[in-house]
Every structure is written in C-alpha cells, then in structure tokens.
Structure 1
Amino acid sequence: MQSQADQWNPDSWRARPIKQQPQYDNPSLLSEVLGEVRKLPPLIFVGEVDRLKQYLAAAGRGEVFVLQGGDCAERFQDCNKDAITSKLKILLQMSVVLCYGLRKPVVRIGRIAGQYAKPRSQDTEVVNGQEIPVYRGDIINSFEATLEARKPDPHRIKRAYLLAASTLNYVRALTKGGFADLHQPQNWDLTFMQKVPQRQEYERIVANIRDAIVFMEALGNREESLRSVEFYTSHEGLLLPLEEALTTFAPEQNHWYNLGAHMLWIGDRTRQLDGAHIEYFRGIANPIGLKVGPSSDPKEIIEICRTLNPRNEEGKITLISRYGEGKVKQHLPSLIQAVRGAKIPVVWSVDPMHGNGIKTQGGIKTRDFDAILSEVQESFEVHQQLGNPLGGIHFELTGQDVTECIGGATGITADQLDQNYETYCDPRLNYSQSLEMAFLISRMLGQA
C-alpha cells in the first residue's frame, strides 16, 4: 500500500480546493509559459537548501538567530542596482548588530528574488466607479488601475523568473565580491540618530564591532567570513502553477525540491489543511515557513506541521507568529505549549508587521514603529517565560528612505506619509527605521 508521501507529485495539488489564485483568460498560454520556465536553469542549488535547513535546525535549538526581511511585494521596476544594493545593505547591517547583541550567528534570509505575488482580501475593487480585479503583484497583473491592466497575464510569470535570476546574480556578486566586508561599518549612516538619546550608544556598538574585527585579525584570524556572507532567498509560495514548474527531483537526495527559492512560506490565508497549498508543500524538501495568527487553532497547526514534516525533521518548519500588539500573550502561549506537548521541532519566529496595520484618517495604510517593537517585546517575554527560544524575526522593509511607517527616531508622522510612499501593497520600514529596530531588538534580546 502506498504511503501518503508516495502518492505525492508536483501537480497533486490540482485535485484540492485552492485559494488566492488568479483566473487566466488563456489557459493554453499559461501552460506554454510554464513549459518554458521548466526548461530554464534552476535559480538556486539543492546543497544550499540543505545547508539552510541545518542553520534553521540550530535556530530551533536557540544556537542561531534568523533575520528574514525584504519587500512586501517586489516590483519589476525595482530590479536595479540601487534598489537591490540598498536592500542587501540594510539586511547585512541589521544582522551584524543582532549578531553583536545576541552573541550568536545570524542567518540572513531575504524576501527577494521571487516575492512578486501577494494574497488579497478581495478579488475586486471599485476604482472611479468601475469594478476591476484587485492588484495581486507584478507576477500576475499591473498596479495600473484599469480593467485591461488588471487582467492576469501569463507572460509576467516568465518575466518574473528572469528578473529573479538577475536579482540573484547581483546578490551573489555583492555577497562574495567584497560588499559584505565587515571592515566597512564606518560607512553606516547614523545621521538619523543625531537628535535621539541613544545615538552615543549606537555609535559605541558600531565602534565595538570595528574594534572586535581589528582584534581578531591582530591575532591572525583572517577568516573569509569577515569579507563575505551567506545569503538565502525566500518568498510566499502563493502562485502554485509556477511553484510546480520550479520543482525538481534530486536523485542523490531522493527528494523533490523547489529550486525557485531556498525557503518558502505559507500565508495565513492559504494554510487550509485540506487545501492545495498544504498538499503542494508537503512534498518538497525545502524548509517551510507557516504564518500563524489570531485565527490559528493550535490543534490544526499541529496537524499541519505533521503533514508538512512527517519525518519530524529539525529545521523543516518555522512558525512565524503575527498577532498584533496586545494580542500576543492571549494567543502565543497556548500555541507554544501545544507544539511542545506534541514534540514537534519548529523554529519560532515573530512577524511584527502584519498584525499592526492601520489606516490614517486620510485612508493611507501604515504601521506604527512603536507597535511593531511592542509586539517583538511581547513575543520575547512569552518565549522567555516559557523557556522557549525565539529563533528569528521577519520584517517587511526596504533600504531606501520611503515614508510608509510612522514613528521611529526620524519621527515620521501621518501627515508626512505622502512624501515618499512607494509600496504597492503593505507599508515597509525604511532604512533608518530598520537599523534603529535592529539596535533596539539587539538591546532587548541580548543587552548589547
């Protein structure tokens, strides 16, 4: 008799109910484009996926910390040198600050090179009196608010693949070519701290990092790790026809891998136990993130984890909590206790962004810096009280000086949001807010 795993194949999800998928007018064109993508080289390597899983296993034991961050939804137009460089720069700088404060290695995972699709709460919206399909990300349709532009276009899938490949190529060049050299922290921009009490403390941390590197090298330690870093990619595995096309069987490992990203996650809207997304994800060897929020039933989350990880591998599942400020202590303890009671190994991460969305009086979507930090604090306290390691944090951020979230040392107010509000979906922390957040979290978790 065949086991459940034996019955899986990359397209078995098609027999399950599915949510958050676009409706294409031309299915044959969609099949043609997916066929072209299948013939293209994979974006990442099997060995990289397995190595990340080992790091995540260590994070689950509290030995490593995971920083995951990047755009809410990547835009095609942002596949350029400056945008990619700025995203990588802020993630590297945040990771160094966290590494210094926590006194443990930090694994960097970008929401990059594939985060082109977004789930939406409604299928349509009314613009200028006309009902049109909602924008679902550049891989599906255009942000331009016309009926024609909002039609799902299969050609966008291949373009997304090619742009992801270009992004990855440049990221690899940067991380291995000297951009990540830790000898350069003096290039960090701390001007946003000029008028805040913590400025001297943050400058002291940067100075201490530089001194530590000089001291290590004075002792003869000239490790390559001081000049280059490992960097992994992730995206929400939402558009299943594409994820299927990126799935390959690795004979040596005897497993199927999605070679479009090192890690993929399942969102709060698509984690139905009998749904297509769970069916697809249960068959791949990649590490998988699972968003959990106020609607999560601990019993159901346990069943999902068992379905996704039947061999109970360490590093396979990351539970990314997203409750919102003031709701963490109501929901998180019962989930932690249930998962521990079921003896399921997971990495615990906190996403303090998605539960803290608000709208201004003018109807602009934003997030409050203090609320984001508060959810991190609440999550840390719950994990600490239960003796459970908090293994990571998940941000929507950019390395550019956008004005999308209010608060932080620069004091962005609701009235200033329209100065440089660029996101097509959810608001992101800008460069200064992201780096400030890293300093504050470093002090919170490690007393830097």
Structure 2
Amino acid sequence: MDTSLTRRPALQQPYWPDEMALAEAERELAALPALTTEDEVVDLMRGMALVADGSALVVQGGDCAERFHEAVPELVRQKVDHLQGLAALLRAGSRLPAVAISRIAGQYGKPRSSPFETEDSGRQMPSYCGDAVNDPAFDPVLRVPDPRRLITAYHCSGAVLNELRRSWSGRPIIERVYASHELLLLPYESPLVRGGVRGGYSASTHFGWIGERTRNPGGAHLELAQSVHNPIGVKLGPSTSPQDAVELSRTLNPQGVPGRLAFIARFGAKEVDRLLPPVVEAVAGYGAPVVWLCDPMHGNGLRLAGFKTRLIESMRAEITSFTRILQANGRWPAGLHLELTPDPVTECVSSRSAEPRFTDYRSTCDPRLNPEQSVELVAHFLTLL
C-alpha cells in the first residue's frame, strides 16, 4: 500500500476498492486541524522518561476496538474514570507516580489474522477491521472498506479527546490520562503527521504503538514511527528474536532518549519463560533505555463454548513471569497493557469455573477484562514489585 508518507511495504492494510475516494479522504485528513498538540506529546514523554528511569509506573488499557457510537461524553468519562482508578491503585500500592494511557480516541482500526470471517451459517465475507474501515455486522455491503469512515474516525477521535482533556482540569501533568492507539491504518496516520518545533509528530494521538504483525524491518509502520517524536510502543510476541528487539531499539530510538520507546511483551504464559529472557538480556546489553510493559492478554487467547476468551490464571502467570524476568536482568518492570472496559462484561473467565458462562459478551473483537478483573491483575502486579 502506498501512502503520502512512505513507499515501503505496509502489512495489514485493508483492500480499499475505491482508490479515488481513498485519495480524497487522505487529502481531507491532511487539511484538517491536528487532533493532539506537540506540547501534550512532550508532557507524556516527560512522564515516560520517569518510567524509563524506574521512578514511575504505567497502566495502559482500554477497548480492543473502539466504536464510533461510543464517542459521547458519558461513556468517555466512564472509561477515563476507570483507568484513573487503576492508576490510583498503582500509585497507592507502589508509592510511585503512575502514568495512565488509555486505548482511546483512535483505536478504530484492527489487524486481523485472516482477511475473511465465516458466519455460523457458513457464509464468508471480509473480516471486520475496526469502525474506521467497515462495520462489524455480517452484511456483505457493510463489510466493504469505506474511506469515508477514516473521516468519521477523525471526528469521533476529536470528540473523545475533547472530553479527555476536560478530565485533566486540576490534575498534575503526570496524573492525566493520555490517549493511545495502534498506528495501523496508514491512510489515516500518514496525513496526520505534522511538523512541530521539535520535528514531526503524530497529531492523531499522544502515544502510538506498532503491532506484532506490522513491526517488520524495512516496513512502512516502522518508517512512520521513525518520522515522529511521540513516545512509541512495539508489541513483541513469540516470533521476536533478541536481534529483532535490539534492531528495533536501534531503529526507533537511535539517540537513546529515555521514555521514547516501550516494548510491550505479549509472549503468552506458556512461552514467556523460554522466550523473553534472551530478548531482555540482549536489549539490556545494547544499553539504550526501554520501557518494558506486559501485555498478558494477546498471547493467552482461546475458545470456550464458541467464544473467544482469556483465562485470568494464564494472565496472572504471564505477569508473574514477566516481572521476575525483568527483575532478574536488572530491568524495571514498568507496568501493564490491558484490554479492559468499565462495563460488567463476562468476556474473560477463570479456569476454576466448572462451566464458563458468557452471560454478557459485548466485544466486537477480542475479550476484555471487567472492572473487578482489571483490579485483580493490577493488584497482582503490585505484589510482585
């Protein structure tokens, strides 16, 4: 996929059947005001620098996939308050500052393991790739990628950010909730790279991350991340070699700026003890500062009773191993990256349940933690520090 920013190969891009409409959407996005400011990005970077130094913690969390219809003040406030509560728990339990970063105001695109989904009836159609691309309803017309949805994503993100900023009133800079999403859809991200006093920055978010599926060396997503000075995260999964991690550190943070780069480990409870230690050791040996976060969710998915779910016990186990491995290598286990919701859903379950029942499953993509489960995992992490 070619964009205005890069000519490198770009993975996980939807097939947009109307190329002229896509080009028009990109031009429109480039002409619209920035969603975030460079000063906001720098404020978050200062907090992340404290984290990189081992003087603060991070909780990053929110929806697997945001929905356009949820870009309303009441729902945004619920999400922000939920994350603020988890950050307060970290502060109280550690007596350290805690940076709160929400998966909000732009998490409208989703990478998928397959370009097609099969309905229970056997009918096949394009996968749902987030509201910025298509609709989750099993309707062949609504599943066609529509470039105008990129414009809707911009306006919904703006509405969410306006409410997010209202929550900042009276709070110290480090106690604000900042916005983040995966830097996935290049026709959206590239036009929103803007020039600032300190160089280019992503005006679509405060913190962006590159996924396990798009962190390929020489790929367009890495080039995008190189072109901005926002704090950047990279998901590291089982296919990550020690050399891969060192090269990512060298590529994305060549000057060794504290707080610039976060590695979000998602190896899975079954593989983390074998695969994470050599990666941490190699990155530590390279010497550039890295913020290490644990994503205990994406490596622990399974299907039960026809539902995608994650077991609480597997997530606890991965958090335990992650923390122990970082500490054994003299590195700071800086926090957690979670998919969660303030709603009382039943999407993640316990293996202690004889017969898990998914009585309130609302996610359009992956299973999320409910408030009680979120608190349980954060509290468990605190016991390990």
Q: TM-score, normalised by structure 2?
A: 0.95
| Separation in structure 2 between the aligned mates of residue 120 and residue 46 of structure 1, nearest angstrom | 31
Larger radius of gyration: 1
CA contact 1:66–1:109 (8 Å) conserved in 2: yes
Compared CA separation, residues 105 and 414, structure 1 to 2 (3 A): farther
Q: Which amino acid aligns with 1:321?
A: A
Of 369, 372, 382, 2:325 maps to 382
The aligned counterpart of 2:193 is 247
Matched-pair contact (CA < 8 Å) for 2:82–2:342: yes
**Pick from 343, 346, 350: which aligns with 2:287?**
343
Secondary structure at the residue paired with 2:168? helix
In structure 2, distance between residues paired with 1:44 and 1:425: 27
1:83 to 2:75 alignment: yes
In structure 2, distance between residues paired with 1:312 and 1:246: 25
Q: Residue 49 of structure 2 aligns with which residue?
A: 57
1:292 equivalenced with 2:236 (yes/no): yes
Amino acid at match of 2:181: H
1:141 and 2:134 equivalent?
yes
- Distance between the aligned counterparts of 1:110 and 1:334, measured in 2? 30
Task: Note if contact 1:133-1:151 (Cα within 8 Å) is conserved in structure 2.
Answer: yes
Paired residue type of 2:184: L
Say which of 418, 424, 432 aligns to 2:364. Answer: 424
Describe the shift of the 1:363–1:96 C-alpha distance in structure 2 as closer, same or farther (beyond 3 A).
Answer: same
Q: Deviations over 1:192-238 (max 9, x none)?
A: xxxxxxxxxxxxxxxxxxxxxxxxxxxxxxxx549x94121110000
Cα distance in structure 2, aligned partners of 1:320 and 1:39: 33
Distance in 2 between residues matched to 1:384 and 1:304, nearest whole Å:
22
Q: CA RMSD in A?
A: 2.0
Long gaps (5+) in structure 1? 1-9, 178-223
- SS, match of residue 145 in structure 2: coil
Q: Residues of 1 paired with 2:38 and 2:375: CA distance?
A: 32
May I ask how many residue pairs the two structures share in their alignment?
Answer: 383
Match of 2:182? 236
Preserved CA contact (<8 Å) 1:83 1:399: no
Q: How does 1:173-322 map to 2 (within 5 A)?
A: 173-176=166-169, 225=172, 229-250=175-196, 252-253=197-198, 255-322=199-266
Distance 2:45 2:361 in 1: 36
Q: In structure 2, what is the Cα distance between the partners aligned to 1:440 and 1:342?
A: 30
Secondary structure at the counterpart of residue 175 of structure 1: coil
Residue type matched to 1:142 in 2?
D
Corresponding position of 1:4: none
- Once the two structures are TM-superposed, the CA of residue 412 in structure 1 deviates from its matched residue by 6.8
Residues 319-357 of structure 1 show CA distances to partners (whole Å, capped at 9, x for unaligned) of: 010011132221111111101111121111110110111
> Quick check: 2:99–2:175 contact (8 Å CA) kept in 1?
no
Q: CA deviation at 1:424?
A: 0.7
- One-letter code of the match for 2:367? P
Mapping for residues 27-66 of structure 1, pairs under 5 Å = 27-66=19-58
What letter is aligned with 2:334?
Answer: G
Asked if 1:23 is matched to 2:15, the reply is yes
**1:268: Cα distance to partner?**
0.3
**Which has the bigger relative contact order, CA under 8 A and spacing at least 6?**
1
Confirm or deny that 1:114 pairs with 2:60.
no
Q: How far 1:137 moved relative to its partner?
A: 0.5
3-state DSSP of counterpart to 2:39: helix
Deviation string for 1:147-199 (max 9, x for gaps)?
Answer: 1111000111111111111111112213327xxxxxxxxxxxxxxxxxxxxxx
Once the two structures are superposed, residues 239-260 of structure 1 have per-residue CA deviations (whole angstroms, 9 ceiling, x without a partner) of: 011101111111x22x111111
Is the aligned partner of 1:74 residue 2:14? no
**Aligned partners of 2:242, 2:5: CA distance in 1, in Å?**
26
Partner in structure 2 of residue 200 of structure 1: none
Match of 2:277 among 325, 328, 333: 333
Contact 1:406 1:414 in 2 (8 A): no
The 3-state SS of whatever aligns with 2:309 is strand
AA aligned opposite 2:230: N
Cα distance in 2 for residues equivalent to 1:175 and 1:443? 29
Q: Deviations over 1:121-159 (max 9, x none)?
A: 111123333321111011100001121111000111111
Counterpart position of 1:214: none
Q: Is the 8 A contact 1:110 1:234 kept in 2?
A: yes
Check the 8 A contact 1:83/1:400 in 2, yes or no: no
What amino acid maps onto 1:436 in structure 2? E
Residue type at the aligned position of 1:293: G
1:337-394 alpha-carbon deviations (Å, 9 max, x no partner): 101111121111110110111111x221001112111111111111122221111210
Partner of residue 124 from structure 2, selected from 131, 136, 155: 131
Q: How far off its partner does 1:414 sit?
A: 5.1
Partner of 1:403: 346
Residue matched to 2:376: 436
Deviation at 1:434, TM superposition (A): 1.1
SS at match of 1:429: coil
- C-alpha contact (below 8 Å) 2:259/2:290 kept by paired residues: yes
Aligned partner letter, 1:281: A
- Contact 1:237 / 1:266 at 8 angstroms: preserved in 2? yes
